[in-house]
Structure 1
Amino acid sequence: MLRDRDNVFCFTANNLDNSLSRLTFNSCTASSIPSSTLQTPPPITYTQPGLYNVYFVSDEGLPTMQVDCKQIRVLPQPIIEINNDTLICQRDTILLVANGPNLYSALWSPVHNTIPPFDTTSIRVHPQEDYRYNVHLEFTQGGGCAYDTSVLIRVSKVFADAGPDRFVADGAYTILGGPRMSMGQEYSYVWTPPTYLSSIVKPNPTSRPLDVMAYYVTVTNDSTGCFHSDSVWVRTECTEIHLPNAFNPVSDVAVNRNFGLLNNNVVKLEYFKIFNRWGQVVFETTDTGKKWDGTQNNIELPPDNYVWIIDGYCVNGKRIKKQGTVLLTR
């Protein structure tokens, strides 16, 4: 007869004849099975603590019949105090604690993303995915009862990706945000500062900066409260003249109603001229901030393609000459 933790096993064999050997229990037992006539009975468990008698009868019905009695002491199930299954934010650390009266030792497994040591009643873990941590507990009472349990740690993943640092030509725009940004209806976004941004609450706003800017984005999972932040540097370079290729003086969008420089770092103009298809000058200026509204002498000009030429200087002293066409629509 063998005992392994809370289970009782009996192995019997009658090699000399066909007599029956069996394992029986008294009527007051609380075991999981009342009796067995198998040569190798199944494991036996008890639902209540206490003292129990187990009777073993061999050669039943023969003059050689023998009865053996064993007493088994069943201890109360250990009282365990351990973390409930828990949700944490990615990159966070959580302390797992197993405790109970007369607890002698604890062994945690696996050791994935675990801060050693692993053979103590408490460990710190920092999983990057949902993970179940198992713990084997042994108690000193009654020769060492053992108990196995586990804790599931679920991880809320949030990733902010502001995109790589970049140079943007003066007057041009750039789209912020990188491919690893957490996307979905459960996420909210906040970009700071709002300067030169098309939106501060969209994952991929545009920026047309006047000078060097550092932008920060914070992404939050609104259902879990977990968040992550990232930053990006945007630097401007005055290397080119930038003008729109079309405009509409009656547009609902204010910035589309006039035609002029998009550059912020062109500080001087030798000339800025616009011609109709017959080569007549319909607009000219040396003011970097002045724009054409599609009129000549306060008379609206017809929709058409117009030719422009420009000669100016960047703040860094670089001279830029350029020409092109613009479409006037109404």
Structure 2
Amino acid sequence: MLTRALIFLTCFFSTIHSYPQSINDCPQNIGFETGTFANWRAYSGFVNVVNNNNVRTTNYDLSETGPQYGQHTIIPKGIDKDEYGGFPLNSPNGSEYIVKLGNNVGGHGAERVSYSFEVPANVAAYSVIFNYAVVLQAPNHQPYEQPKFTVQIIDETNSASTSCGSFEFVAGGALPGFKRSETQNDVVYKPWSPVLLNLTDYIGHRIRLEFTSNDCTFNAHFGYVYLDVTENCSFPVTGNIICPGAEPIVLKSLPGFNEYEWRNTQTGDLLGTADSLVLPADTPVGTNIALKLIPFPGLGCIQTLYTTLQGLTIRVKQPPPECVSVDMTLPTHVSGNYPDLTYTYWEDANATIPHPNPKKITKSGTYYIKGQNKRGCFAIAEFKAIIAEKPTITITDPDPVDYPATVDLTRSFIPDPTMKYSYWRDPKATVPVADAKAVNRDATFYIKVTNAAGCSIVEPVVANIIYEGIVIPNTFTPNGDGINDLLTVLIDNAITVKSFKIFNKWGDVVFTTTDIYNYWDGNKNGTSLPVGVYYWFVDGVDDKNGKVKKSGSVAVLR
């Protein structure tokens, strides 16, 4: 026999008032859609019995251990079935993953998962739907010793359990919806069933979902549960977006409740008693329908949902200004109140002139998006594209300076306080200048200008530093710390280098280049060389075709 115990549960007739229906985003990974327990907390431990003043109760000794395989198990969508109940290991909502909490091994084990989230303050209505399936071994024990599955919905803001949605199943008595296993006589199971949590009264509150399964308090009998949470926190009546006169209207709700009552709110007439309702094709937009959901005894509260038949609508989120072009087709730009809409892109409000390249709009203006469903219903909304102007900069190359004086690149233009400036060694702006106020190398550098819209241009600036001959440091430290890691060479512009070579103390060439600005990094063929003294030699010609030869030494330190 299977008995029932209820915890923190005070049921009442709940009426969900008429709200505009929309798709509300659920908290991230509340439905395990990443295939992980991200954002969930997982606990494991043991269950036992405590005696308080001769009253025996179930006690959980749980620690937050993180997911433990075999106790907290992610199961991907597939074809498997539960070995005792034969029901599919796929959630009725079609999601890609479910969770199995517990296992079929006794040992007075217990496990729990919980998820805390904020009910958004900017929505008119909010609900969470979870599906569960339970498998319990049902031995001849006292209720407080039995395997069980417990659900608690806790308002963390007020430190209290919610009025509906908290319950527990205890092996050992008769409870509606449970069946006896055909493969093992002492096992009972409840196939997939939904629970609707109307959290509209908790808008702005922090809510915790808490699911616990446990074996019996001895060692021999098990209990486990499958769970999934629907990743759509809207109210569960679909089909209210209609094309009047096209075909019969079918409204659908959650399967698995004990009773259903669909009524016309204007007349009070009873329209149907199943989990779906078929209305005539000519039922007008604006018709209000009420649905009373009556759960099995002890498994929640009676709730009345309201829905209004609506025509199809789409909403466009206007994009920020873009620099070169706007992609009108990005899915983040548009949403509709109907699933699986097909979107097309137009230049006029009547959608008669298609845009030739909606992925690359290069001219600011007003365009139009048309959303259409398979039944031919459509809606058109404005899309405003703004192409921001590129920034400008007028650069004057700094006056030449004699080494060791430096050049200040920041004084080569008049800054605009609305722009951002950065300084680079390459035209793609990938290698930054270490100190733009004190450049000590004769070279072309680059200034990147970015405006408030994020548009950028990169323009060159020439630092002209006059050297007498060739200047090479006598020490450098190629240790990868970003400071003095390269052997820099400063050279008179009148000198053309034919080769630059570096030798070790045995006369072996460890580095050679014809590009004097291809600085040595202290390696040979990618392998770090030992610290010590190395010798360099420059071979070149000056602007009068005279030979230039110079040599010296450099100490490598790390």
Using structure 2 for the length normalisation, give the TM-score: 0.21
Which has more strand, going by share of residues? 1
Using structure 1 for the length normalisation, give the TM-score: 0.32
Q: Computing the radius of gyration over CA atoms, which structure comes out larger, 1 or 2?
A: 1
